[in-house]
Structure 1
């Protein structure tokens, strides 16, 4: 049996409602169906997939059910977005396709960024995609000012106008020149106390506080270099010339392997995440489709990226 035949959206909707409600009757009431119909949908899905998806007493997902629930959310979100897109096309059949503007801060979410863009291009080949590089000051403003539609950023924007989903979670690193005494710790790692005197680069005053807290490991007193940087390339210019130190996620080292720069893991700080951010009230179906695809890929690729 093909996967398309198995993934009946009605069955998925009933299954996901039971998982989220933890009860067949409550799920039925939420869907305006009878409990018997919801039970039949779950049984059909289990039969089609050849595995038990729900424990019955009490109701809880099996390991297979947990996995399917994540896929179900993605598929249903994509389906709803597709219906919105068709409805929009019916209202304005002659309208030209608006490009989807994708903002990327630094290297975004590592390998997940190009994978998400390529997946969207395959799914929506008629929708133009514009990639826009964001600097450190545009952590929030690019979305709020409608210059991009989705944005790969870090950390999560502290702004109620923006919704952000975790894509990857990684160890933190600092970037120092080869001449730094800390460079010897590239394999063993360093502690927060070891980096206290590093001359971290400076960002403009209008950079969001959320980003500067991330950049300086939540320490306002962290030593600053006169070297001002807005992009990873400018950070590394300061690093290799001995004028500044930088910080980032572990995957930064894969994308910016500059001669003269050394990347040192910081062992005693929490891991940090990269995010896909969108406007909270954006009803654009293309944004919803891109978001659903990125989240599906994050579940598949995330552990490999953060390893």
Structure 2
């Protein structure tokens, strides 16, 4: 029994004529007749009376099953076609610079080598897009910090690092080898624009460790790390970051000073929990594998400062 035979059978039943059924299927009338005759021979029963066209008892029994089989075949075709269409879509990766330090470009390069047929695009994210870039479907995965608190998202931790303050070289704290959380209260921070989620604001200003005491903010507002660095280098405020930033950004007029008693913080790869595409799963698996393999090497780059930083909680 073939699907084309069932399609011809149903077309004749629904159209009431072989000619109209053939036109509907873009076949010749003899082809439709041949399909039904072969189907009747295979089943060993007559399905249609020919003059006039009418269903036999066997034909009546076959109709609902034929419709179910054709519907299932169409659904399977649609599912495969949809998957092929998904494969053609670019995998959009958001990066709140610098992402997860040196891991970010390494993961992107490795995925391009491992999945050369999957188009990959990289989008720059601002602080306000900490979670909305994902929940509003601007990107499919995102390198962000700190860990989002959103049940709609999957989160894979890639780095766990000490905290540093970004201070003007000639400003408060600029001559210090290390600072403590108590020193944070005396500094004026670069502000954040409206719309930045509270979890990011709390992270940036050490709010949990300072019992929620609000920071003193200057007039500058920063939407990205580049904005923070620009304001700090101009002596217009203080920023905060993960320790890896001190390896990645060499700006004149700034220093990265460890905060020795601050809780360590994480950079993560986040994705939508309901996005089950194999490309997303493959990217997450690759990222977490590389974080396990390369993480210890990246951590070794921090050893020079470890004597100033308390052990990870």
Say whether the fold is shared (TM-score over 0.5): yes
User: What residue is the counterpart of 2:123 in the other structure?
Assistant: 132
2:174 is aligned with 1:179: no
User: What residue is the counterpart of 1:109 in the other structure?
Assistant: 100
Where 1:182 maps in the other structure, the secondary structure is: coil
Task: State which of 268, 275, 298 in structure 2 corresponds to 1:282.
Answer: 275
Is residue 172–residue 187 contact of structure 2 (8 Å, CA) maintained in 1?
Answer: no
Q: Following TM superposition, by how much is the alpha carbon of 1:169 offset from its aligned partner in structure 2, in angstroms?
A: 0.7
2:203 is aligned with 1:214: yes
Is residue 155–residue 273 contact of structure 1 (8 Å, CA) maintained in 2?
Answer: yes
Quote the Cα distance in structure 2 between the aligned partners of 1:227 and 1:303. 37
User: What residue is the counterpart of 1:254 in the other structure?
Assistant: 247
Is residue 100–residue 128 contact of structure 1 (8 Å, CA) maintained in 2?
Answer: yes
Q: Following TM superposition, by how much is the alpha carbon of 1:151 offset from its aligned partner in structure 2, in angstroms?
A: 0.3
Is residue 240–residue 260 contact of structure 1 (8 Å, CA) maintained in 2?
Answer: yes
Deviations 1:115-153 (A, max 9, x none): 111111111101111100100000000000000000000
Question: Taking structure 2 as the reference length, what is the TM-score of the superposition?
Answer: 0.67
Task: State which of 139, 150, 164 in structure 2 corresponds to 1:159.
Answer: 150
Quote the Cα distance in structure 2 between the aligned partners of 1:93 and 1:236. 43
Quote the Cα distance in structure 2 between the aligned partners of 1:235 and 1:128. 32
Q: Following TM superposition, by how much is the alpha carbon of 1:181 offset from its aligned partner in structure 2, in angstroms?
A: 3.7
Deviations 1:222-242 (A, max 9, x none): 111110000111101110111
Deviations 1:141-195 (A, max 9, x none): 000000000000011111111111110011100001111241222xx31111112
Quote the Cα distance in structure 2 between the aligned partners of 1:92 and 1:240. 50
The 1:228/1:147 distance shift into structure 2, 3 A limit, reads same
The 1:88/1:203 distance shift into structure 2, 3 A limit, reads farther
Is residue 190–residue 238 contact of structure 2 (8 Å, CA) maintained in 1?
Answer: yes
Where 1:108 maps in the other structure, the secondary structure is: coil
User: What residue is the counterpart of 2:234 in the other structure?
Assistant: 241
User: What residue is the counterpart of 2:39 in the other structure?
Assistant: none
Q: Following TM superposition, by how much is the alpha carbon of 1:91 offset from its aligned partner in structure 2, in angstroms?
A: 3.9
Q: Rg larger in 1 or in 2?
A: 2
2:100 is aligned with 1:142: no
Is residue 213–residue 220 contact of structure 1 (8 Å, CA) maintained in 2?
Answer: no
Q: Following TM superposition, by how much is the alpha carbon of 1:90 offset from its aligned partner in structure 2, in angstroms?
A: 4.1
The 1:165/1:93 distance shift into structure 2, 3 A limit, reads closer
Is residue 168–residue 305 contact of structure 1 (8 Å, CA) maintained in 2?
Answer: no
Is residue 167–residue 238 contact of structure 2 (8 Å, CA) maintained in 1?
Answer: yes
More deviation, 90-99/231-240: 90-99
User: What residue is the counterpart of 1:226 in the other structure?
Assistant: 219
Which structure 2 residues correspond to residues 1-307 of structure 1 after superposition, within 5 A?
90-92=80-82, 95=85, 97-185=88-176, 188-218=177-207, 219-306=212-299, 307=302
Gaps of 5+ in 2: 1-76, 303-313
The 1:285/1:196 distance shift into structure 2, 3 A limit, reads same
- Residue-pair matches, total: 219
Is residue 199–residue 224 contact of structure 1 (8 Å, CA) maintained in 2?
Answer: yes
Is residue 201–residue 238 contact of structure 1 (8 Å, CA) maintained in 2?
Answer: yes
Where 2:175 maps in the other structure, the secondary structure is: helix
Which structure carries more relative contact order (alpha carbon 8 Å, separation 6+)? 1
Q: Following TM superposition, by how much is the alpha carbon of 1:256 offset from its aligned partner in structure 2, in angstroms?
A: 1.6
